[in-house]
Amino acid sequence: MSDIMELVITKNTGEMEFHQAVQEVIETVKPVLDRNPEYRQAAVLERITEPERIIIFRVPWMDDQGQVHVNRGFRVEMSSAIGPYKGGLRFHPSVTLSIMKFLAFEQVFKNALTTLAMGGGKGGADFNPKGKSDSEVMRFCQSFMAELFRHIGPNTDIPAGDIGVGAREIGYLFGMYKKLANEFTGVLTGKSLNWGGSLIRPEATGYGSVYFAAEMLATRNQTLEGKVCLVSGAGNVAQFTTEKILELGGKVVTLSDSSGYIYDEGGINEEKLAYVKRLKNSQRGRIEEYKEKYPNALYTKADLTLDHNPLWNHKAVCAFPSATENEINGNDAWNLVNNGVSLVSEGSNMPSTPEAIEIFIDNKLLFAPGKAANAGGVAVSGLEMAQNSMRLNWPKEEVDNRLKIIMKSIHKTCLDAAVDYGKPGNYLAGANIAGFVHVVDAMLDQGLI
Ligand code: NDP
């Protein structure tokens, strides 16, 4: 183990997800440090793995029965080397400091790859919005913002959504920020269209992941037309990944939530997808209900005692993990390979374990790491910020076109960096190296701060 990894483990005891994210970057950027001794001299690894600032705070709120609850809120401001901190907020009971730090760390490199001026951050709370009334969610969001507002701002730190934080939560958070700060600014992205949001922002992460996949397939003279695809999740990223795959002629046969997954051999067409959107976004139902509506589909309950996830064990050509971290382990990776999957595009953040990634790379799959494949979301958040600053709205075609150009450019950047460092076709190495060089060059320009 490298000295720097030992240091990270010692200083961040027990933070497994953070260790995992750092380890992956450190391994892949070693050749960059060997070629540029000034980076080691300036201790860039020690600096980039230490958050610039972490805010942890109490979030008390009252439920509809008058009972008081206390959650823990976080904002990890990881790096402002190339712009104000930017990254989503996650509301999920599994949220810990380790999860926040891994997400913030990934975000730094992802944002650099977009070439937009955005540093990296992430935040959230161990609050579970599932089963809560709108009023309870509103009170929680208001209490959360009552502390967070003093740390963020349109030129300081601009949060957005993530797991459990969608249009409803962004609305409540924004309302409270506006009241406390007494100003209407673009302090959050993912806003609704009629008060400062951008067209294509809800679609951007899913669409971007599919645009990236299409670019990878083009390097082998292939398209998505007729390809069977496995998609996990049923939230924002999964829904719009499915939508774009359908538009490009592919066939999606799976979707999931934390309770289980559905397999629809006939394919999830536009009508079925519209049902899933209603089910998940307005009715806040479970994916299990899909089977009641479409009885030909199979529903399998999640079983955490299994050593693999059966969702990844179906014949397919492409896989789009779009739920959460570490959702594909080594056994799942072998199942994917043995079922004929030749492309994995990570819509979620760090969905593949290190073992799974090694299997994908050894078996020459087209493998796109999340920090490249899912960068479309934050890229369009950057475009939302630009539109807010100019106080105008671009049409849908313009935003979508810019998204396509950005995804194409990230794809090329990854490929070029991989070739430059002797790893042709390795998108993981390419993404880490290109993002890293962009950020550390900015750090060196700005001196030791
Ligand atoms: P949503 O909350 O909209 O959807 C998340 C989906 O994943 C839900 O179906 C949820 O099921 C499922 N899920 C969440 N946690 C688990 C778990 N522990 N096990 C199994 N399933 C789980 O979130 P998003 O679609 O926005 O985010 C999905 C992923 O994409 C995350 O990794 C996020 O960080 C990443 N991402 C999101 C971006 C965005 O713009 N939204 C941008 C870049 C990355 P259930 O309904 O049961 O909770």
With the C-alpha atoms ordered 321, 324, 330, 331, is the resulting torsion angle positive or negative? negative
Of 224, 220, 219, 259, the residue nearest 242 (C-alpha): 224
What SS3 state is found at 82? coil
DSSP annotation of 278 reads: I
Cβ(349) to ligand 1 under 6 A?
Answer: yes
| Spatial distance between the Cα atoms of 109 and 118, rounded to a whole number of angstroms | 10
**pLDDT score for 211:** 98
Q: How many angstroms does the Cα of residue 257 sit away from the middle of ligand 1?
A: 9
Answer whether 215's CB lies under 8 Å from 304's CB. no
**pLDDT score for 202:** 97
Of 34, 15, 104, the residue nearest 2 (C-alpha): 34
Q: How many angstroms does the Cα of residue 162 sit away from the middle of ligand 1?
A: 7
Q: Determine if the pTM surpasses 0.95.
A: yes
**pLDDT score for 2:** 86
Contacts of 90 (CB under 8 A, 6+ apart): 99, 100, 103, 122, 123, 124, 125, 162, 163, 164, 165
Could you tell which of 86, 237, 282, 308 is best to mutate to test the pocket of ligand 1, judged by most ligand atoms within 8 Å of the CB? 237
Cβ(162) to ligand 1 under 6 A?
Answer: yes
**pLDDT score for 326:** 98
| Spatial distance between the Cα atoms of 233 and 239, rounded to a whole number of angstroms | 8
Instruction: Map tokens 């901190």 to a residue.
Output: 85
pLDDT tens digit at each of 449 positions of the chain: 789 999 999 999 999 999 999 999 999 999 999 999 999 999 999 999 999 999 999 999 999 999 999 999 999 999 999 999 999 999 999 999 999 999 999 999 999 999 999 999 999 999 999 999 999 999 999 999 999 999 999 999 999 999 999 999 999 999 999 999 999 999 999 999 999 999 999 999 999 999 999 999 999 999 999 999 999 999 999 999 999 999 999 999 999 999 999 999 999 999 999 999 999 999 999 999 999 999 999 999 999 999 999 999 999 999 999 999 999 999 999 999 999 999 999 999 999 999 999 999 999 999 999 999 999 999 999 999 999 999 999 999 999 999 999 999 999 999 999 999 999 999 999 999 999 999 999 999 999 98
Q: How many angstroms does the Cα of residue 165 sit away from the middle of ligand 1?
A: 10
Cβ(152) to ligand 1 under 6 A?
Answer: no
Q: What is the topology classification, in CATH, of domain 2-184? A: Rossmann fold (3.40.50)
Domain ranges of the chain: 2-184, 204-368
Answer whether 51's CB lies under 8 Å from 77's CB. yes
Residues of 185-207 as b/e, b for ≥16 C-beta within 10 angstroms?
A: bbbbbbbeeeebbbbbbbbbbbb
Angle of the 201-218 helix axis to the 376-390 helix axis, nearest 10: 130
Answer whether 351's CB lies under 8 Å from 370's CB. yes
Does the annotation count 408 as an active-site position?
Answer: no
Q: How many angstroms does the Cα of residue 250 sit away from the middle of ligand 1?
A: 22
In order of 92, 138, 162, 292, 416, the CA distances from 165 in angstroms are 9, 12, 5, 27, 35
Of 86, 101, 110, 122, catalytic: 122
**pLDDT score for 379:** 98
| Spatial distance between the Cα atoms of 348 and 325, rounded to a whole number of angstroms | 7
| Spatial distance between the Cα atoms of 235 and 325, rounded to a whole number of angstroms | 14
CB atoms within 10 A of CB 270: 11
For 60, the enclosing helix (H) or strand (E) is strand 53-62
Superfamily designation of domain 204-368? NAD(P)-binding Rossmann-like Domain (3.40.50.720)
Q: How many angstroms does the Cα of residue 206 sit away from the middle of ligand 1?
A: 11
Cβ(164) to ligand 1 under 6 A?
Answer: yes
Same fold, 2-184 and 204-368: yes
Cβ(98) to ligand 1 under 6 A?
Answer: no
| Spatial distance between the Cα atoms of 120 and 86, rounded to a whole number of angstroms | 5
Cβ(206) to ligand 1 under 6 A?
Answer: no
